[in-house]
Structures are given as structure tokens and as C-alpha cells.
């Protein structure tokens, strides 16, 4: 066998799988776009939910029914550690016009123990070309109503550097849960500088759980400063019910709302921020098995308060166009 023929065969071995993945991805994007346009044609503003925690206990048809009732076109379906990333692929194949292949969330024992096997599997999944996004990875997480985790995986830890590096290498976005304490912000900022190509979605912006320790970046001006400083930083909006209090402090934590005798509206400063930087915010339900009954309420809050108070252009970007660009690498085209 000649040297030229051998080189050609070896080239084909590596090129054909890559081309196959690219073709499949293009077909997936076409299906996703069709789904979004179907909702738009109904006169409904579609939503892409970037933060759904799949634990395998909610029937798929039940979730899809809630999505349809609330105009949610696509869901980034992030499984838990036990199920593994492959579960998102399996469900995508069953419902290709609803679920977006998403890697496992980093919110369990393997993640918090910096388990090398978990990180190696995550890297393999992320580099496979089969996924459009990575899940939510916990840095600092307070104890909540649905779990007893009170943990801190520093954002600049070895394990987190794996996630940032994978996002930089693959172009896939990932979600970061990090409590906005002033003393914890430097560890995040160091990583945003070190990995400028990483696409980081900081979860639950518009929240302040403790005014004593959350001061620097929980006001609209603080978020604006971060946006101007770090072009690779995005946010999903707080999912808390307006007026609800965080059980740990008794403080009303959804601070982006203004409650008065005339009803509930976006706080003027937060509204100004969303209109000024509409490209930097997305929608995530933060729904898991224990909070599934909140699904309708969360989506209704976004629609009847947030989107209602914004211009059409800003609402469209936050509802689905920004998530579309993050997951596909393409601007939305009507």
C-alpha cells in the first residue's frame, strides 16, 4: 500500500466521524428552530429554559405538558450524577423537539469530592460533540428548602478549572451557582480573567439573601459593573416568588421586583439594566423534582412581570435569543 493511500485512509478515519457529528448537529438545530418558530407563529413569546434539574422522577410527558402550557419551547435537560449525561441524550432522542442535550449537573457527592472519575467522564462527554450545554455546577451553595447541602467548592479550585477549561475548549456554556457574598467574588473574577473564552451563566441574578454580606454585586449597578468588565459572563434571572423570604435570614431575596399597592413590577433600576444589556440575561426555571409544582408560577412570573415590563426586543433576547446563541453559537434569524 502506497504512502499516499495510507495517509488518505487515516484522514478519512478521522474526518468522517467529525463530519457526521457536524451534520447531525445541524439537523438538531433545524428541529430546535422549527419548534421555536411554531410557537412564535402562535403569537406567543417562546422561552428556552436553561436550568432544569432532571432527576428521573417526573414523567417526561408531564414535563412536556407544563412546557407546552407555558410556551417553553426547549429545555436544557441536565441530569443528576446518578443518571449521567447520557440520560439527556436518551430523552433528546425520544423528544428531539423539546429537550436539548446537556451534560450532567455538578451538584452531588462526586462533584463536591472532586472525584477524578466524575471529571474525566464530564470531559469525555463535553468533548464528544453530542451536547449543546453543560449543567449547573455548584461553588458556594446554601442549605435550601429541597436539599441540605451547605457546601463550598471554590470557583478557582482544581475541579472548577476543569469546567472552565472545557467551556473554553468546546464553546459550550455552563451554569454556575455561587452565592454572591462580597468575600467570595474574587475567586470568580480570577477565573473569568483566566478563562476569557468560557461561557459562564451565573444563576439567580436579582437575588440578595443576606444584606450584611451581599453588598457589592447584588444591586443593578453592581451587576452592570460585572457585565462591563467581563464579556464572557451571563446571568439567569432569580426564580423566587416576588416578596418571598429566604428561610436562612428572613430577608426578601428577590430584590429585582418592586411591590406596591398597585401591584408588582420590575424595579426601575433592574429594568434599566435589562434594557441596557439585554444580551447578557437568560431564563432558567431552576425546577427539580421537589420544586416541580412551582413550574407554572415561575414561568408566569417571568411572563407577566419581567417580559411585560420590557420592550419587545429585550424580552425576546432574554426569553430565547440569548440562550439560542449560547447553545448553537449562532445569532437567531427570523
Ramachandran quadrant class, 39 (left: phi over 0; alpha: psi -120 to 50; beta: rest): alpha
The whole-number pLDDT of residue 228 equals 98
Task: Output Rg (C-alpha) for the chain, integer angstroms.
Answer: 20
The whole-number pLDDT of residue 9 equals 46
Best CA proximity match to 237, nearest among 273, 285, 196? 285
End-to-end CA distance of the chain: 52
The whole-number pLDDT of residue 143 equals 84
Torsion on CA atoms 202, 106, 317, 41, rounded to nearest 10: -160
The whole-number pLDDT of residue 3 equals 54
| Residue ranges for the chain with pLDDT beneath 50 | 6, 8-16
The whole-number pLDDT of residue 253 equals 92
pLDDT in tens, 202-242: 999 999 999 999 999 999 999 999 999 999 999 999 999 99
Q: Which residues contact 74 (CB under 8 A, 6 or more apart)?
A: 32, 35, 36, 48, 49, 98, 99, 100, 320, 323
Take residue 144 and report the three cell numbers written for it.
Answer: 435550601
The whole-number pLDDT of residue 144 equals 74
The whole-number pLDDT of residue 203 equals 98
> According to the CATH classification, is domain 3-328 in 3.20.20.140?
yes
The whole-number pLDDT of residue 126 equals 98
The whole-number pLDDT of residue 17 equals 53
Amino acid at each position: 500500500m502506497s504512502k499516499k493511500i495510507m495517509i488518505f485512509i487515516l484522514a478519512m478515519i478521522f474526518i468522517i466521524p467529525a463530519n457526521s457529528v457536524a451534520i447531525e448537529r445541524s439537523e438538531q438545530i433545524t428541529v430546535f428552530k422549527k419548534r421555536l418558530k411554531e410557537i412564535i407563529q402562535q403569537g406567543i413569546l417562546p422561552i428556552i429554559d436553561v436550568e432544569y434539574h432532571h432527576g428521573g422522577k417526573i414523567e417526561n410527558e408531564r414535563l412536556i405538558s407544563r412546557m407546552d402550557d407555558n410556551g417553553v419551547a426547549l429545555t436544557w435537560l441536565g441530569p443528576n450524577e446518578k443518571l449521567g449525561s447520557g440520560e439527556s441524550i436518551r430523552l433528546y432522542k425520544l423528544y428531539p423537539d423539546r429537550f436539548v442535550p446537556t451534560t450532567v449537573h455538578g451538584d452531588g457527592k462526586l462533584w463536591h469530592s472532586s472525584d477524578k472519575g466524575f471529571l474525566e467522564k464530564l470531559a469525555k462527554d463535553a468533548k464528544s460533540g453530542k451536547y449543546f450545554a453543560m449543567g449547573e455546577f455548584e461553588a458556594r451553595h446554601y442549605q435550601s428548602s429541597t436539599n441540605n447541602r451547605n457546601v463550598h467548592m471554590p470557583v478557582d479550585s482544581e475541579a472548577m478549572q476543569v469546567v472552565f477549561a472545557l467551556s473554553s475548549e468546546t464553546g459550550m456554556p455552563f451554569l454556575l451557582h455561587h452565592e454572591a457574598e462580597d468575600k467570595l467574588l474574587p475567586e470568580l473574577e480570577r477565573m473569568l480573567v483566566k478563562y476569557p473564552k468560557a461561557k459562564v451563566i451565573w444563576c439567580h441574578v436579582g437575588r440578595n439573601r443576606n444584606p450584611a454580606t451581599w453588598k457589592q454585586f447584588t444591586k443593578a449597578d453592581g451587576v452592570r459593573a460585572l457585565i462591563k468588565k467581563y464579556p464572557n459572563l451571563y446571568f439567569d434571572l432569580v426564580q423566587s416568588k416576588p416578596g418571598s423570604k429566604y428561610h436562612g435570614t428572613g430577608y426578601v431575596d428577590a430584590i429585582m421586583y418592586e411591590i406596591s399597592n398597585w401591584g408588582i413590577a420590575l424595579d426601575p433600576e433592574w429594568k434599566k439594566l435589562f434594557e441596557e444589556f439585554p444580551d447578557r440575561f437568560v431564563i432558567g426555571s431552576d425546577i427539580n423534582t421537589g420544586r416541580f409544582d412551582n413550574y407554572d408560577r415561575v414561568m408566569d412570573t417571568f411572563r407577566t412581570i419581567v417580559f411585560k415590563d420590557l420592550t419587545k426586543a429585550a424580552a425576546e433576547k432574554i426569553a430565547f435569543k440569548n440562550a439560542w446563541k449560547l447553545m448553537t453559537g449562532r445569532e437567531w434569524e427570523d
